[in-house]
Structure formats: structure tokens, C-alpha cells
Amino acid sequence: MKKLLILSMSLFAAMMLRAESQTITSPDGKTELAVELEGGKAFYSVKYEGKQMIERSALGIMTNMGDFTQGLKAEKGLPEQRTNGTFGGHKHSYTMQNTKASKGYYDYKFYGLSLKNDKEQKINICFEVSDNNVVFWYSIPQHKDAGGIVITGEASSFKLPEGTTTFITPQSDPMVGWMRTKPSYEEGYSLDGQMTQRSHYGRGYTFPALFRVKDDGWVLISESGNDSHYVGCRLSDYNPEYGYKVEFPMEGESNGWGSTSASVPFRTNTPNKTARTPVRTITVGKTLKPIVETTIAYDVVQPKYEPSQVYKPGRYTWSWLVWQDNSINYNDQIEFIDLAGAMGYEYCLVDAAWDTKIGYKKIEELSRYAQSKGVRLLLWYNSNGSFNDAPQSPKHLMDNAPARRREMEWMQRAGIAGIKVDFFAGDKQHTMKLYEDILTDANDFGLQVIFHGCTLPRGWERMYPNFVSSEAVLASENVFFSEYAAKNEAKDLTIHPFCRNAVASMDWGGTIMNKYLSKDNKSRHPRHTTDIFEMAAAITIQTSIQCIAIQPNNLTELPEFELDFLKKVPTTWDETQYIDGYPGKYVVLARRHGTDWYVAGLNAEKEEKKLSLNLPQFAGRTVNYYVDDAKKGPQLQQLKVEEDGTAKVTIQPNGGIILTR
């Protein structure tokens, strides 16, 4: 009897140990998640190929119903299926046309930790582990008859190993910058920065965040699935105790209007009537390849509605970038419509104040004229008129449903293809709802949507089929405004393929072909990148509707081979491959459109970059080689790739290369 009692106690202790500590590995066995419960608190950590990528980091949320960050005890493990019941099993595939790959395939292992707090209230912490990715979210079963739960904050953190360096961009103070329009995700990046360095504003950092874990590998942290039922989050400043913690919006955003908390409904269409948070995503790898190629932001979300029509990708011309405000008139827009027609482009963007400078009737005329040239118009709108001081019109139209739907109905009648909506400046829940409302209504009227002055898109390309891209980056307009930004263009565009553009489409705002940032192409400051750099950037920048900021004068000034390339450059990709690079120094990517491969490289360093590239897709073939010659300038040459796929190339400082067949 005594032996039986001892054996029973041993078995009970072993069961408790399993409940308190669990390890889950990815299908390929290289990514390892450890989940622990100790002292009433939940933790996780992540390894890749045995190397620590994320050290022991906190889990949990604070709510109006109870505290789920401490006093926790395990109840039971969850069954290995998604708690929201949207799809079962451990694998699924999907198709898209507006991201870095046309097909997604997600193979993962699920683990759910079911906990109770000291009030006996339940929470589930859900994890999925796939090759090179770990994601987690919180699922809260309905408490009594409550309709929803208010989440006031998270304990969720990311503790990187000591010695990790950072490639991150700070969150701005609220209501600062031009016409008090920040935060707008338009700050500069650290390059191999120190974790201990305080962020510029002391407000932490925006998603995504890229880290180099010494010589062991890379970590990319972001979030996905944020919609009208949550806030947009960010990371805190570094704390040696817990690393970086998830932070909610700042009180001062949107002129101080709106809560910083998230009000989340209990969803009656789920088995347990659960409320759930967005997904935190962690991508890890020995090299930058899984960072650049990850599709995790799209893998973990589902479409919210069906597209009302087949939305067409393409290129657009844009007068405002170089010709600025004075170009918003009927005759100048005719020039840029003609330019789009001559280049075979699908769209022309008419920027701010068209409603007063051109007028609705004349816009209808412009739209008819554009369609006669095979071009459709995109129109600029102010997102609101009260959250900041941005004066540009049309405003007070996108922020309320009756006016918004009337406007969109008019656009549908006028043959307008899409809208660019600007100046949001905040991540509070009401702003996230505004994004969703604009997208949903726009789909009803067959309109595609680009956002500027805005937050990072978080899985939106899949969630909202008419969403194209967002700015959320220090974009091309700054190349016009400042020679400092022009000198840093190459550096900026060699950062984003590894972080900002790795997790979401990015509207940089223009492949610039003028030598000088002026209408006459002779005055103001020069562009500091080469023509081939700008052409290659049209490939390294990913968005399904790409701005090619060609100017009317470029039709007679550019070499014919440059114009021919710009007429044919695709904007949608079936496959993306990382070839080589380092954030802020250089990048080489390969993208496939149908059966055609495009390899593009950018060099931001002061010396020429000689590279030996592994390009099996071109093995033994002769390819078109767009390259900068240090003496002769931009050239179109032929390059024979070795039988083993080796291609030896040279990228000039602030220059680029393109290889294609």
C-alpha cells in the first residue's frame, strides 16, 4: 500500500510537471517553443537549432474582469485544434494576388494552455509553432453573461539574449510633427543598435522589430489580425528584466479622444463564446532568408469578406511627388493621364484638394478621359478632419458612414478605381475601426484602398481583399523635401525588405527617374541614387499597385531600354526568394511573376559591392543584366550565368542591378 501511494504521488508529480512545463517543436524540428508556469505566472521561450532566440518572457493580460498576469494555475491542455473553429487540422493553404507570394502554405503544431486566475476565471493562451515561426494569442471564455471584455494592457514580452543588436524604429510622441499628424510610423531605424539605448521619444518602438542575436541568428517580431475589435500595439523601451513589452496606444493620440484600452466582444459563433486578441508573431532563423520570405502575417488570419469584384493590380503615375500642390489642376492631370497611357500603366493618382482645385464635375470628365486611354483614376482623401490639423480636402467624408457611402457611390458611378486615404495618426480602437469601415464600404463600391499617414497593416492584405498597401514608412516624399533624405534613400530602401516590407505591403510612393527633384529637372537638390537603383527598387519594394513616379520629361530623356523596362515591370509576385544582403547595407531579392524571374539588388554602401550570387533559376542561361557602369552610367548588358547557377555581379554605390529573362 505504501509503495502504491508513493507510486501514485510520483505519477501525480510527473503529471504536474508536464502541466507546468511544455515543449513544442516545429514540423521540421528546428524551431522550439517552451511554455512554463511558475509562481502563478506564465512564460515562454524560443530556440532555433538549439540556440536561444527568445529568453524566458512573460505572458498575460490585464482586464476589467480580472488580472490574468499573476495568480495563475493550470487547468488542462487544450485539444490540438484552433479554439475559434475557423478551420481544423494543422495544415492549410490559400491563394492571394497582392503580397510577396501568390500561394501560402501553413503547416504548424498547436498548443493551448488553459489557466485560471485566483478568482477562478479562465483564460487560454494559444500557440502555433511552424518552421521558423512561433505565434501566440489569448482566448478568453465568456464570463457569465458579459457581452465583452475590456483589455487594459498586456504583460506579453520579448526578452532577447544579451548582446543582441536592433533594427527598430521609434514610436513618435502623439500630436507632433507636421500639423500634429504623428504618430504615423515614419521615423528612422537603428542599424545594429544597442538594446539599452533609449528610444528617441521614450515611447518605445513600432512593429515590426528586427533583431540580430549575436552570431546565432535573426528574430523578427510583429503582430497580425488587429481589426476593429482591438488596438494597434507597439513595443516598450528595453528593460533588462523583461526585454520589450507589448504596449497599448498613448492617451494623447487622436487629440486625446478615445480609450487606450481594447473592448473585445465574446463571439457567439465560437464554441466557447470566446473573446480573443490579435496574434503576436515571432519569425526566427539562422540567416535572413526566413525573415525576408515569411508569410506568417497572412498565414494566421482569414478573409473578412469576399471581394465584390476582381481587383486589378498595376502601376500608377503621380504628379504631386515632384510637381507638388500646383499640379492639382485639370491640365496637369491630363498630362499625367497621358503619361500613364503612354507607359501602359493602369492608374493615375490625383492628390489632395482636387475637390476645390478641379471639382467633382471636372473629375468626372478626367475619369472618362483616363478610361479612354486605358487608365483609371485613384483619388486622395483626408481620413477625417478632427483628429489632427491636416487641412487638405476632401475631408469630413471618410470618417462617417453616410457621407462615406455617398462619396463612394459617386466614385463608382464616375468610374474611379480606388482611394488613397491619409492622416490617421493613432492606433486606438476607434481608429482601427475606421480603417476597417473604410475598407468594408469601399469593397461594396468596387474600390481599392491605399492608406498613408497611417499604422502598419497587420495581415490586412488577406483580411480585406480590396486593401492594397499602406505607407507606414519614411517614404519618397521626403526625398523631395530634404536632401538629407535623398542622400539616405539607398540606406532606407535596403532596410525595409528585412522588416517593414517583410510583414506587409508598403507604398513607398515612387520609383523616381528625374535627376533633380524639380519639375524642370535642373533645380533643387539631386537624386543621389542611380537609374538602375530606382528601377531595381520597383522590384524590391512590394505592393500590388506600385507608383512609378516617372515624369513627362522622362519620356524623351531616359534611354529606351530604361523606358522599356519601366513599361513592363510587374507588381504582383508568385514567389519571393532572399538571395543576399544585410539591413541598411545592401539587398538582393529574386521574385517570380508567372514563369519570369526578376533578380534585383541595391547597394547603400560607399564602395562597390562585388557579389557571387547563387541563382539556380538562371543556371546555364544568358540573362538581361541592367547594371551601373562606373564610367558609362546605366547599361543593359548580357550576362552568362554559370551552369551551377553562379552569377558574378557588381553593384555600384547607391546603385542597383537587375537580372531577368
| DSSP states of 561-596 | HHHHHHHH-----SEEEEEEEETTTEEEEEEEETTE
Mean pLDDT of 596-615: 98
pLDDT at 118 over 50: yes
Amino acid 75: pLDDT = 81
For 266-299, b where at least 16 C-beta lie within 10 A, e where not — what string?
A: bbeebebebbbbbbbbbbbbbebebbbbbbbbbb
pLDDT in tens, 220-235: 999 999 999 999 999 9
Amino acid 250: pLDDT = 98
- Supply 301's cell numbers: 488570419
Indicate the average pLDDT of the chain: 94
Q: Which amino acid is at 119?
A: K
Asked if 284 contacts 53 with a C-beta cutoff of 8 angstroms, the reply is: yes
The pairing of strands 314-318 and 545-547 is parallel
pLDDT in tens, 313-357: 999 999 999 999 999 999 999 999 999 999 999 999 999 999 999
| DSSP states of 181-243 | ---SS-----SSEETTSPPSSSS-BPSPEEEEETTTEEEEEEEE---TTS---EEPPPBTTTB
Question: Could you give all domains of the chain from N- to C-terminal order, each with its CATH number?
Answer: 22-299 (2.70.98.10), 303-472 (3.20.20.70), 473-509+525-543+573-661 (2.60.40.1180)
Mean pLDDT of 38-47: 97
Mean pLDDT of 33-50: 97
pLDDT in tens, 567-578: 999 999 999 999
Which range, of 16-20, 102-106, 512-516, averages the lowest pLDDT?
16-20
State how far the Cα of 19 lies from the Cα of 530, in Å rounded to an integer: 59
pLDDT in tens, 153-170: 999 999 999 999 999 999
Q: Which of 90, 522, 551 is nearest to 324 (CA)?
A: 551
Asked if 439 contacts 305 with a C-beta cutoff of 8 angstroms, the reply is: no
pTM assigned to the model:
0.94
